[in-house]
Structures are given as C-alpha cells and as structure tokens.
Amino acid sequence: MKFSVTILGSNSAFPTSKRFPTAHVLNAHERFFLIDCGEGTQLQIRRNKFRFGKINHIFISHLHGDHYFGIFGLISTMGLLGRKSDLHIFAMPDLETILEFQLRYFYEDLPYKIIFHPLQANEPELIYEDKSITVESFPLKHRIPTCGFLFREKKHDARIKKEMIDFYQIPIRDIVNIKQGADFINKEGEIIPNNRLTFPSGQQRSYAFCSDTAYSEKIVPVIQGVDLLYHEATFLHEKADQAKKSGHSTSQQAAQIAKKANVKKLIIGHYSSRYKDVKPLVDEARTVFRESYPAIENESWEVPFITRDQVEAK
Amino acid sequence: MKFSVTILGSNSAFPTSKRFPTAHVLNAHERFFLIDCGEGTQLQIRRNKFRFGKINHIFISHLHGDHYFGIFGLISTMGLLGRKSDLHIFAMPDLETILEFQLRYFYEDLPYKIIFHPLQANEPELIYEDKSITVESFPLKHRIPTCGFLFREKKHDARIKKEMIDFYQIPIRDIVNIKQGADFINKEGEIIPNNRLTFPSGQQRSYAFCSDTAYSEKIVPVIQGVDLLYHEATFLHEKADQAKKSGHSTSQQAAQIAKKANVKKLIIGHYSSRYKDVKPLVDEARTVFRESYPAIENESWEVPFITRDQVEAK
C-alpha cells in the first residue's frame, strides 16, 4: 500500500525553464490526490504518467495564481478525454465563482460533474474521509486566506494469520473482532491472545502540506510528528524581512517548524526564482533540522509501510 | 525591418508532451504582437527568448480555454518582473470581466495598467494602428463569437538617395515630399523625376490569423492576397462532418480558402491531438494549394522585404 508524494512543481511565482509552479500528487493506496495546480500541471501529470481519470480530488491551498492557474486547463482536458466521474475540488469559495464563470465559455458541455467543497481558513477542519484516509485543512499565515492540508492514514486493521484460523478453528463471525484487536475464546473457554493470531498492524502514515505561509508556530500542534512535511522556503534567512513582508518563510524557519513539530522528514520548496541552485536553501535548513530535503520536479518521496513491531523496536 | 511569425503552440484543445495550445508571436519591425495565449505560453515566450517587456499587445481570438488560459500567468509574471508600461489586450468583452475578477486575487498590486479593447465579431473593424502597422479584426465562423486578425504594414515611404541630395542640392524642406513620391524642381525649373531620386519602396507585408473557424468563404475578400495565412486545420477531410459539427476546418478546406484568397503561403495548425504526425495534414493541403506548410513549435516564418521593382519584375 503506497503512500508517496510526487513533486510536479517546486517554484514560486512563475514557471521557469526548469521549474514549474506548485503542484503535488499524493498517491495514498492508489488514490491520487492533487494538491495545488499551477500553470502547466496537466503537462507534468502527463510527464509523470499519472492517469487523469485517477485524480478525483483536488485541493487548492489559496487563490494566488501560481497555485491554481493550471486548474482551468486540467478541467477542460479531463472533459475532452471523456471523463464521467465526479471531480471534487476543495478551495476557497471564490474559486467556485471563477469556475462557474469560466465553465460557461471554455467547455459548454462538460461530461462530468464538479463538486465544489468550500474551505475556510479559520480553524482546522476535517474536509475528507474515506475508508483508509482522512484529510484535514488548517489555517496558514499568508496575505490572503490560505489552508494547509494534513493527509493521514486511518488505523489499519491487523492482518489475521491464516494458519491460526485453521489451528484454532476460528469461526468467520469472530474474524472481524480479532482483526480489530479482540482475543479469541475457543470452545474449551481457553483465551488465545490477539498477538498470537495476527500480524502486527502498521503505523498511520501522514503528509502535511504547508504553502504558502509565513513562520507560524500555531501549526506545530496540528502537524506534530508527521512522516513527511512539505513547508515552503521561498527565501534564505538573510531575506527574513522580505519573507515576513510577503507572507513567506525562510529555509531556516521551515526547519524550525519541522524541528518543533518533531516531524520525520522535511521537504522544502516554493523557491524564489532568484535561486537557480537550491543547495544553499537545503544547507541552511539542515543547520536546524538534519532531515531536510529539496522538492525537485518529478521526484517522489515515499513513506514506507512499517509494522507496529518495527516502530516499537526503533 | 523584420516581419516574421513564430509559432509558440500548434495544438488544439490541450497541451501534449510535444505540442502546446495556440499562441503566435508576430515580430513586425521589432514590435511584438502576441496572438492567442494558451496554457504554457509564458514558458514558450521564455524558450524562444522573446522579452516579456517587448510584448505590449495581445490579441485573443475567442474565449475557448486553449486560446487564453495562459494569459493569467503571463499577466502575473509581467507584474512580478516589474513591468511599468501599459499592456493592451484585444478580446471579447467577457474576458474583461474574468480578468477583473481574477486580478483581485492573483496580483493585488499590479505595477502596470491593462488597457482592455473589446472586440465584436459582427464585421471587419480596424482595431489597432501605429505609424507602420494596422490590425483589423474580422468575424470567423465558430461555436462562439470568434475573430480573425489581419496584420498589414502601412505603405513605406521611399528611401531617398543621399548622393542625389548633394548632387541636386535638395533643401531639407523638400525631402518629405520626395519620400512620398513627389518629383523635385530645381532652381533652374528643371523637373527631376522621383524615381531618379529614391530607392523604390517595398510591398506592404501582411499576415492573417484564422483560428478557430469552420470553412467560410466570407473571409476570402478580407484576407485576399496576404503574404502569410495561418488557417486552422484541425482534421483531415475524412472527418469533414466532425469538423463542421465542432466549428472547425479540415486541411483540404484550409487550402481551398488559401487558394480562393490567392495568398502567398499557407500555414496550417490547431491540429487535433489524434494526429501524432502532421504530415498527412500537410500532404492533403498541398493537393489543393502547393504552398502549404505545417505550424511547428518554435519555428518562424519570415516574410522578406521585397522592393516594388522586385515585385513588378516578378
């Protein structure tokens, strides 16, 4: 069961010859969640061989162009490719107005439905849930209302050992309970402890997306302990004033948040175009938080599935 | 004095890994006119090393996404690069409403002014004029209101021969008249014919852009005799029904228009993504009109400057 993030765009403000504006794809158990959608995202989706039809949920952090200008073309292309299934878009309410206006022109007869889910940037909110994943939005600190997103696996049921079913002759009706942690009592009244019957279940993997945002410790409790944190780092810390003024973070600040939140791994991105080489940004982050890495187009970050035993053994 | 068209995008509907949606740049005497602006146009402008600051006029044929989705990012990027001079946009009135709405979000404090020029698609209209170029819009036949554009050089003044100024001792006050065709009468009352005093002036070069459009002979008198005609050819003629239904043309139809209008050269484009190789489209056009060529990304079509003598000698 995969849990991996692919970077489609790492740049701020505008595309350059090497870097696209923001867009990420999270593959969580072969569900594909698109996070932000800068200009050229559909090109990058194609280049990374994601199937358009597999993307059913799009999350837009805020309505600055470099985070959503690609959505118009993407919606249109999905229609031209004959999409039938609903497309869910989570974004600030004004995007719905923009979309309604544009839809009248650019695709008169869209063959699928867009279901719009308005976000608010006042407090954390559960915005999506299915049998294996939850998505929470939470406020970031930017010039206009902006949300971060926290993707987290639900607790996995334990897998039952087949040979134990045979050995103890466990009836089917008891299996669900055992998967959820119950012991088994056999005909003789003997209690068979759950851990003899099951493989240990894994941890709940998690990914937090925080862009765009100024330095804000308010997000620390929300993203506490996540496996993968993407936090914008538009500037080097020598430009801390400019970062503050424009509602952005420095690389050092991103790392401070990662450290305070005790995350496993930090990915920085949303680089200012002035940094042709992003190594100085990564180096700066690593002075504060060692597990810092750069977002690079078409590279993926996988969170491996680790069982509870492996976690506890660490 | 250059007069050349560069193809930034040749595809219809959506970008593919090789082809971008519609955008052309006309360089007329180092004035750069952008015609249509599909998603990714700013990337293509960068790749072709056109300077953003040199583009002051954008012409949008119609409000289907593959002809204007790139304008939002382009406007934003021009702002981020510190543009100060006005940007003129010629398009259907609804684009102004879309832009006004979007501008509030994606760039709160644009450092330059957008001057919007609403088009109508009812009859030909002179929409732009400077000392050397005129631009006319004219109605095309598509599913929504759509304009073609005709760019034409004004009549050049003849260049005066310097040695004749000395030889006949021509006063400065007479030079303007001579450039515009007058003969010179010297102190002795002798008439020196204009053609002894000047180099012959050239033809008025012209470029017509016709996309998107179904086959329509109504445009023939408007584009009569242009040097370069870009006419969409979305389909092969075996798909003439589909072309008609969707308001597009076949390659054969584009060539028929070129032939009837007696143009010098036809460029076809706006290819359906089904045609990975566009050679069959070109071959089809050439059966009707020999001077047919394919639009290809990053290729330019220059109309050479030919003097009137050269034209007449042909």
Reported confidence tier of residue A150, pLDDT bands at 50, 70, 90 = very high
Name the residue facing B105 among A14, A40, A64 (closest C-beta).
Answer: A64
Q: How many residues does chain A have?
A: 314
- The percentage of chain A sitting over the pLDDT mark of 90, rounded to a whole number, equals 77
Helix (H, G, I), strand (E, B) or coil at B151: strand
pLDDT higher at A308 or B41: B41
- Read off the pLDDT of each residue in A201-207 and give the average, rounded to a whole number: 87
Helix (H, G, I), strand (E, B) or coil at B155: coil
Q: Give the A-side interface with B, CB within 8 Å.
A: 13-17, 21, 39-40, 42-43, 46-47, 63-66, 69-70, 72-73, 76-77, 80, 94, 97-98, 101-102, 105-108, 143-144
ipTM here: 0.85
Residue in chain A nearest B145 by alpha carbon: A105
Q: Global pTM?
A: 0.88
Contact A105 B97 (CB under 8 A): no
Mean pLDDT estimate for chain A: 93
pLDDT of B159: 81
What does the block give as tokens for B244?
A: 């008609």
The Cα A78–Cα A90 span in angstroms is 17
Q: Which of A11, A69, A272, A273 to mutate to test the interface with B (most CBs of B within 10 A)?
A: A69
Nearest to B205 by CA among B152, B271, B254, B142: B152
Nearest to A210 by CA among A63, A64, A61, A89: A61
The Cα B254–Cα B261 span in angstroms is 11
With beta carbons under 8 A apart, name residues in chain B contacting A246.
none
Helix (H, G, I), strand (E, B) or coil at B101: helix
Residue in chain B nearest A16 by alpha carbon: B43
Domains of chain B, by residue range, sit at 3-156+201-313, 159-199
Establish, for the pair of chains A and B, how many residue pairs have beta carbons separated by less than 8 Å.
Answer: 95
Give residues with Cβ within 8 angstroms of B159, minimum separation 6: B179, B198, B199, B201
Q: What is the pLDDT of residues A55-88, one digit of tens each?
A: 999 999 999 999 999 999 999 999 999 999 999 9
Measured CA angle at A309 (ends A305, A311), to 5 deg: 60
CB A80 within 8 A of CB B13: yes
Residue in chain A nearest B95 by alpha carbon: A102
Nearest to A219 by CA among A211, A296, B68: A211
Spell out a b/e string for B173-212, using b for 16 or more CB atoms within 10 Å of the CB, else e: ebeeebbeeeebeeeeeeebebeebbebbbbebbbbbbbb
Superfamily designation of domain B3-156+201-313: Ribonuclease Z/Hydroxyacylglutathione hydrolase-like (3.60.15.10)
Q: Which of A64, A105, A246, A273 to mutate to test the interface with B (most CBs of B within 10 A)?
A: A105
Measured CA angle at A212 (ends A42, A269), to 5 deg: 65
What does the block give as tokens for B87?
A: 């940007």
With beta carbons under 8 A apart, name residues in chain B contacting A13.
76-77, 80
Q: Which of A8, A11, A12, A14 to mutate to test the interface with B (most CBs of B within 10 A)?
A: A14
Would you say residue A117 has pLDDT above 60? yes
Contact A76 B101 (CB under 8 A): no
pLDDT of A200: 73
Would you say residue A192 has pLDDT above 70? yes
Nearest to B249 by CA among B271, B277, B225: B271
pLDDT of A17: 82
Measured CA angle at A62 (ends A56, A66), to 5 deg: 90
Q: What is the pLDDT of residues A243-290, one digit of tens each?
A: 999 999 999 999 999 999 999 999 999 999 999 999 999 999 999 999
CB B124 within 8 A of CB B137: yes
Nearest to A135 by CA among A145, A143, A127, A146: A127
pLDDT higher at A157 or B52: B52
Give residues with Cβ within 8 angstroms of B155, minimum separation 6: B201, B204
pLDDT of A314: 52
B66 is catalytic: yes
Q: What is the pLDDT along chain B (314 residues), one digit of tens a residue?
A: 899 999 999 999 888 888 999 999 999 999 999 999 999 999 999 999 999 999 999 999 999 999 999 999 999 999 999 999 999 999 999 999 889 877 776 666 799 999 999 999 999 999 999 999 999 999 999 999 999 999 999 987 778 888 999 999 899 889 888 888 899 998 888 999 998 898 877 789 999 999 999 999 999 999 999 999 999 999 999 999 999 999 999 999 999 999 999 999 999 999 999 999 999 999 999 999 999 999 999 999 999 987 655 655 55
Q: Rounded to whole angstroms, what are the CA distances from B107 to A69, A72, A238, B80? A: 12, 18, 25, 9
B279-288 helix and B251-260 helix, angle to the nearest 10 degrees: 30
